[in-house]
Amino acid sequence: MKYSPLPKDLYIRNRAKFAAKLAKNSVAIFNSNDIMPTNADGTMKFRQNNDLFYLSGIAQEETILLIAPDCPNPAMREVLFLRETNELIAVWEGHKYTKEEAEAASGIKNIQWLSNFDQVLNTVVSLSERIYLNTNEHLRAGVVVETRDARFIKACKEKFPLHVFDRAAPIMHELRGKKEKGEIDQLQIACDITEKGFRRILSFVKPGVTEYEIEAEFLHEFVRNRSKGFAYEPIIASGASACVLHYIENSKACLDGEMLLMDVGAEYGNYNADMTRTIPVSGRFSTRQRAVYDAVLRVQREASNILRPSTNIQDYHKEVGLIMQSELIGLGLIDQTDIQNQDPALPAYKKYFMHGTSHHLGLDVHDVGTMYNPITPGMVFTVEPGIYIPAEGIGIRLENNIVIQENGFLDLMRNIPIEAGEIEELMNS
C-alpha cells in the first residue's frame, strides 16, 4: 500500500466501542464492497466498505467481519474472513493478506479463510438471538446497484427466519461521526497533501491554461505524495462555470479577467480532504471580485466560530444564512424588500447561496454522523459558504476542514493560503 496504515490499537478500540452498543447475545456481520465492473472484462479500482475498514483496517476485497461479543466460545467473538490466495492469484493480482499480516493490521486473532464462513456463521448464529446487518443509510445515498450487503441480507433472512434482525448503520453513524486521534492524523495528512497541490497550481495558473491541465497538476502532486489521487471528482471551474455547483467537465480554457473555483481534495489512507479555493486567473482580483471574495471569507470565518459543541447542525445552517444575508445586502445583491417578501421556506439569500455550509468529513467525503443531535468534540466538518452570481460570471466558494474541540476548533487547512492578498502575492512571485 502507498500510505502508512494506522496501528491496530485503533481498530481494536473501534470494535470495542461497537460491541458495547449491541444488544445482549447478538452477532453483527460486515461485508466488503464488490469489485464493480466497467465494460467487457474491465473493473473499477476497488474501494473497501468504510464501515468494515473502520472496524478492521483491512482494505481487501471479499472480506467479512463477524463480531459476537457474548458468544460462549471466546475464539468466535471476533472473526475475520479473507479470500484465500494461491500462486495463480499472486501472479495475476499480486500479494494478498496472509493470516499473520491480517492479525497484525487488525488486532483480530481469529483469521479464517472465506471458505469457512458458512460453518462459523451457522455456529455463532445458533448461539445468538439477534443479528445486526449493515446497509448504506446515508441521508444522501441513491442506491441503485445491489450491494454485497444487500445480497447477504436476503440470504441471511432466508436462512435464519426466526432470529431478530437489527440495523448496524445507526451505531456506525454515531461512532464514525466522532474521530479518534489517529483518524484526525490521517485527515491532516490528506489536507497537507492538498495544500501541496494548491501551492503548485498557484504558480501554474495563467490566462490560457485549461481546466484539465490544472486537474493534472493536482493529480501529479497528490499521487507523488502517496495519495491514491482525488478524494472525489474534482471541480475545476473557470468563469461562469463556477456557478454550476457540480461542474466536473473541466474542459475549458481559463481566460484573463475570470476567476477559477477549485473544489478538490486528496485521499490518504482512505481518509479524505475537501478543499475549495477561488483564485483570479490573471493573478489579481478586480474590485468587484475582491468585494465578493472578502464577503465569502468573512462568512467562512464566522461560520467556523459558531460551529461548536452542543450546536445543532440545522440551527447552525439557519444562523449562517443570516450572516450571508447581511453580506449579500452589503454587496447590493438583495435588499430589505426582498427579505420582507421572501418565502420562509426559501429565504432571499438562497438565490446566491443555495447549498449547505457544512457536512461531516472522514472515510466518506460526505461522512456519516449526526444531522440532528448536538455536535460533540472530535467531529470533523467542512465549512464552505459561497456566493454565485451568474449574471456577473462570478462564483466564489471557500472551504476548510475543521475538528470540533471543547473550546473552539482545529483548522486542518490552517496552512493553505486563503487571504486574497496572500493568493495574489503567491501568484505573482
Q: What is the pLDDT of residues 310-362, one digit of tens each?
A: 999 999 999 999 999 999 999 999 999 999 999 988 999 999 999 999 999 99
3 found inside a domain: no
In this predicted structure, the answer to whether residue 302 has a pLDDT above a threshold of 90 is yes
2 found inside a domain: no
Together in a domain, 116 and 251: no
Angle at 260 between CA 255 and CA 266, to 5 degrees: 135
pLDDT of residue 339: 96
1 found inside a domain: no
* Strand-strand pairing, 130-133 and 26-31: parallel
- Please identify, among 130, 149, 176, the residue that sits at the C-terminal boundary of a domain: 176
Together in a domain, 72 and 144: yes
Tell me the average pLDDT of the chain.
97
Together in a domain, 308 and 287: yes
The count of domains in the chain is: 2
Question: How far is the C-alpha of 221 from the C-alpha of 198, rounded, in Å?
Answer: 9
23 found inside a domain: yes
Q: How far is CA 378 from its chain centroid?
A: 15
Together in a domain, 323 and 256: yes
Q: What CATH number is attached to the domain comprising 83?
A: 3.40.350.10
Question: How far is the C-alpha of 143 from the C-alpha of 132, rounded, in Å?
Answer: 20
Together in a domain, 278 and 318: yes
- Please identify, among 141, 176, 211, the residue that sits at the C-terminal boundary of a domain: 176
Together in a domain, 134 and 204: no
pLDDT of residue 429: 92
Q: pLDDT for 367-419, tens place per residue?
A: 999 889 999 999 999 999 999 999 999 999 999 999 999 999 999 999 999 99
Q: pLDDT for 184-214, tens place per residue?
A: 999 999 999 999 999 999 999 999 999 999 9
Together in a domain, 167 and 263: no
Together in a domain, 262 and 401: yes
Q: What is the mean pLDDT of residues 136-150?
A: 88
Together in a domain, 210 and 64: no
- Please identify, among 154, 176, 198, the residue that sits at the C-terminal boundary of a domain: 176
Question: How far is the C-alpha of 381 from the C-alpha of 87, rounded, in Å?
Answer: 45
Domain containing 282: what range?
181-427
101: enclosing H helix or E strand:
helix 99-106
Q: pLDDT for 17-52, tens place per residue?
A: 999 999 999 999 999 999 999 999 999 999 999 999
Confidence bin at 144 (pLDDT 50/70/90) = confident
Together in a domain, 135 and 266: no
Indicate the range of 75-79, 145-149, 159-163, 277-281 predicted with least confidence. Answer: 145-149
Together in a domain, 307 and 402: yes
Question: How far is the C-alpha of 258 from the C-alpha of 239, rounded, in Å?
Answer: 5
In this predicted structure, the answer to whether residue 141 has a pLDDT above a threshold of 90 is no
Together in a domain, 134 and 199: no
